[in-house]
Each structure stands twice: as structure tokens, then as C-alpha cells.
């Protein structure tokens, strides 16, 4: 497996633990719909949280969360919609980004709640 894949997998595991420690119940990881994927789907306080995890070894090229572009947001919205329909859920939905930097001697997690909103 490529090194960047290892970094991403490690970051997603750290994000799951981070959310669980904050009281979230993680329902799914790497949930797929067609060719789209949601890294984490969780629930807290009757809110369904669809989270994108971005992990980098440094912020040299920018903070990890800045790489969640408009197309990725649209894809996450479609994925969330499919998940809600498939599971017949009636919950508020929130889109979060979990930004992780895993440097040689550092680990920084930035949880951005309500990182973006679906556009009508």
C-alpha cells in the first residue's frame, strides 16, 4: 500500500477514536454509494454527522481541510442522501471535516463542525 494510503487509513482510525471519545456513536466507516464514499457516518444528539477526514504529514501545502473542494462536498451530500434513504432515517444532518496533521513529532486534530451546508 502506498505511504499516503497508510497515512489516510491511520488518520481515519484516529478520527473514529476522537469522535467516540467525544460521545459520538460511529455507525459506518468508508460507507460507499456508487463511486462515492463517506469516511465516517456517526450520530450524536439526534443528528446524523457525515464526516470527511483529511490527513496530511504537514501543512506545508495548506491545512488539510482546504482540500475538501466543492465537488467533494457535492459527492458527500449525495452519499448522505443515499444513506438516509436506504436506512429510512428522519434526522438532522450535519457535514463535518476532521483535519489531521501527523508529523514526525506532532499530531494535531481539528474537528470542524458544520463545515459546509447542502445548497438547494
pLDDT value for 58 = 76
Q: What is the CATH number of the domain that holds 13?
A: 3.40.1350.10
Beta-carbon-side half-sphere exposure of residue 20 (alpha carbons within 13 Å): 11
Structural domain of residue 26, as residue ranges? Answer: 3-116
CB-based contact 54:100 (threshold 8 Å): yes
pLDDT of 74-110, one tens digit each?
A: 999 999 999 999 999 999 999 999 999 987 778 899 9
Number of compact structural domains in the chain: 1
If you average pLDDT over residues 13-32, what whole number do you get?
97
Q: What's the pLDDT score for residue 5?
A: 60
Give this prediction's pTM: 0.90
Amino acid at each position: 500500500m502506498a505511504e499516503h494510503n497508510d497515512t489516510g487509513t491511520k488518520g481515519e482510525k484516529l478520527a473514529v477514536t476522537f469522535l467516540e471519545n467525544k460521545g459520538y456513536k460511529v455507525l459506518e466507516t468508508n460507507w460507499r454509494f456508487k463511486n462515492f464514499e463517506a469516511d465516517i457516518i456517526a450520530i450524536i444528539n439526534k443528528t446524523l454527522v457525515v464526516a470527511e477526514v483529511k490527513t496530511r504529514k504537514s501543512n506545508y501545502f495548506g491545512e488539510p481541510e482546504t482540500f475538501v473542494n466543492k465537488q467533494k462536498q457535492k459527492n458527500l451530500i449525495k452519499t448522505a442522501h443515499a444513506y438516509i434513504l436506504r436506512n429510512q432515517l428522519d434526522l438532522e444532518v450535519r457535514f463535518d471535516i476532521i483535519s489531521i496533521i501527523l508529523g514526525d513529532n506532532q499530531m494535531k486534530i481539528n474537528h470542524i463542525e458544520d463545515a459546509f451546508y447542502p445548497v438547494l
